[in-house]
Each structure stands twice: as C-alpha cells, then as structure tokens.
Structure 1
Amino acid sequence: MTPQDRGLRTPVIDDVFAALSDWRRRAVCRYLVTCDDTGVEAGTLATAVARRAQASGVADSEATVEAVEQALVETHLPELDRLGLLDFDERSGAVHYWGHATVEKWAEHADAVTKRNEF
C-alpha cells in the first residue's frame, strides 16, 4: 500500500499509544523515524532492534536477532501494519514507512522518557 492508497490518514492517538506500548514496537518506530530509507527488510530491522535491546540490558533470550525477528514478523510488524503506521509485506519481509508526524512526536517523547537506552 502506498501513501496515496492510505490517503492522508492520521493515526488515532490510541493507536499510536498502543503501538508504542511495547519496547520492540517503540524500537521499530524510532529506527524507521531515524532511517534515511522508506523501506527496510524485516531482518535488518530485527538486527537493529536486537542491538538496541542488548545495549539496554534486555534479557539475552529476548534480545537475540532470531528472537526479535520472530516476534517482529509474527506479532509486531503485522500489528503496526494493521494500525496503519507502516506497511509490512509478510511474503517478502519488506517494511515501508511513509512518515507520520504523530508517531514521530510520541516515539521521540518515549525515547526521551526512557533516556534513549532503556525499554
């Protein structure tokens, strides 16, 4: 789905808070907001999220790239797609983020509150 297909839908604030309620989804949103590209592969995203989790002291079993990728692909990316915050193609593993001012504002705020290193 392209931005034109979505229209200029603004995420409902409850959807944004639901999205940011999980550390993996917060890390995904922050990565996509700061990434220069609009598209990334789920594996690349999982590696970035796992590195951030490991640096933050998240339990090793939860922060392996494999565990993070499985959680992202099976749960978190489909949920973020359902909420309309990104596009996730389950077949290819491609993730596309077109930008949402509300998500960016609250993801930045969540990052500041958690001092950028804690989940």
Structure 2
Amino acid sequence: MSLERGPANGTETGPAVPSNGGEKPSALSRDEVFDILSNQRRRHALHFLKQRNGDGTELRELSTQVAAWENGKSAERVTSDERRRVYTSLQQFHLPKLDRNGIVEYDDRRGSVELAGEATDLDVYLDVVEESDVPWSQYYLGLSGLSLALFGVVSVEIYPLTLVPALAWGVLVALVFTVSALAHTYHDRRMRLGADGPPADLREP
C-alpha cells in the first residue's frame, strides 16, 4: 500500500485500509516502530496519551492538545479550524493506523481513544541533539579519553600532580562519571514520550 506524505506538519494522506485483514500483529518490528514515530502528529498524540497514565480520552480533547502543540499556543486559544484539521487527520488516518498496530484502542463511533498493549514497545526517548551539542556516546568517549590521559600523567609522577594522592584522582574521575550518568538519566526521562510538558521535539534547548 502506498502513501502520499503531506506537509511537514505531519499530515499524511492515503487509504486507511488494513493490509493484514484487520488482524493486529503480535509484536511490532523495529521498522514498524520507526515508521510510527516518524510522523510528528502521531508522536504528539502518543505523547499526550502516555501523559494520561492509562486513562483514555476523547478525540476532541486529543485533537485540541495536538493542535495547540503544533501551533505553539495553549489549548484554550486553539481555533476551530486548527482543531478540525488535526481532528480529521487523526480520525481518518492516524488513529486507525495505531489501532491496527495494537498501540491504541480507538472507538470511532464513540470518539474515544486509549493506549493498548503494544504501546509499551514505544517506551523510547527521542534523542534531540542540537547543532551546538554532541551525542552522549561521543561525550562518554571523550570523557574516557581524558580520564586515561589523566591516569597516564599521574602515573609518571609529574609535579604538581603529585601533590594530590592517586586515590583522590580516582575518586574524582568516578565522581565525574557518576554526575554524567545522573545527567544522562535525567535527560533521557525528559525526552521520553509521555514525559511532563510538551513533546521533546518542541522544547527549547
């Protein structure tokens, strides 16, 4: 089944017809997860649903909040046209797609939606790296290199490093790695779908 992708705001057009006869898969593959999360509107919808801690919501409330994030305003200031565009997109394409994949339970007749079992496969964080930042992997690689260089210099007993005991240098390095790990953990939690506040890709650095 081919799809035509719309504007950059996450709109997709195309037939919302299940390709598997309506049967929901037992598990999501990595490609399916990436495909689902590649669309901004779906990410924002899932972010809001995860924030509700298992409680369902009405399609109108969901579309209002997603429209608010997309337009950079509060939910109270969303216009009827802004909400209608998101409402139609979620109703006709995105929610049926998520329902077919077992991620949400969507009742089109009642206009209600809630997370389903496969949503646990989307318990990932979106690692948004600003142009002025470096990925965490490179950060830890650089930190390891500096630590090895420090130990090398300390081992040859170069003054004035000899004024500090070798054990103290080891404690310092361990402390730096501990603080870095805590900062990394905090960063990951903020970037996860369902974290407090707006979606990760809308937060200011």
Q: Which TM-score tier does this pair reach, normalised by the shorter chain?
A: 0.7 to 0.9
CA separation in 2, counterparts of 1:83 and 1:98?
Answer: 9
Larger radius of gyration: 2
Counterpart among 47, 51, 63 of residue 64 in structure 2: 47
Q: What is the match of residue 90 of structure 1? A: 108
Counterpart among 66, 77, 81 of residue 99 in structure 2: 81
Deviation for aligned residue 1:33: 1.4
Aligned 8 A contact 1:39 1:97 in 2: yes
1:103 paired to 2:122: yes
Give the alignment's TM-score, normalised by structure 1.
0.73
Q: Runs ≥4 in structure 1, deviation > 4 angstroms?
A: none
Give the share of equivalent positions with the same residue, in percent: 28
SS of residue in 1 equivalent to 2:202: coil
Deviation for aligned residue 1:14: 1.9
Number of equivalent positions: 105
Counterpart among 21, 36, 48 of residue 31 in structure 1: 48
What residue ranges of structure 2 are gaps of 5+ in the alignment? 1-23, 74-80, 129-190, 192-198
1:72 paired to 2:157: no
Give the alignment's TM-score, normalised by structure 2.
0.45
Quick one: structure 1 residues 21 and 73, their matched pair in 2 at CA, closer, same or farther if it must change by over 3 Å?
Answer: same
Deviation for aligned residue 1:19: 1.1
CA separation in 2, counterparts of 1:65 and 1:54?
Answer: 10
Aligned 8 A contact 2:95 2:106 in 1: yes
Q: 1 or 2 for the larger relative contact order (CA 8 Å, sep ≥6)?
A: 1
Deviation for aligned residue 1:10: 3.6
Quick one: structure 1 residues 42 and 110, their matched pair in 2 at CA, closer, same or farther if it must change by over 3 Å?
Answer: farther
Higher helix fraction (1 or 2): 1
What residue ranges of structure 1 are gaps of 5+ in the alignment? 1-5, 57-62
Q: After TM superposition, list the pairs within 5 Å mapping 1:58-69 onto structure 2.
A: 64-69=82-87
Aligned 8 A contact 2:126 2:200 in 1: no
Quick one: structure 1 residues 101 and 94, their matched pair in 2 at CA, closer, same or farther if it must change by over 3 Å?
Answer: same
CA separation in 2, counterparts of 1:28 and 1:110?
Answer: 18
Instruction: Give a deviation string over 1:71-93, Cα, whole Å, max 9, x none.
Output: 00011000111111111111111
CA separation in 1, counterparts of 2:49 and 2:27?
Answer: 17
RMSD: 2.8
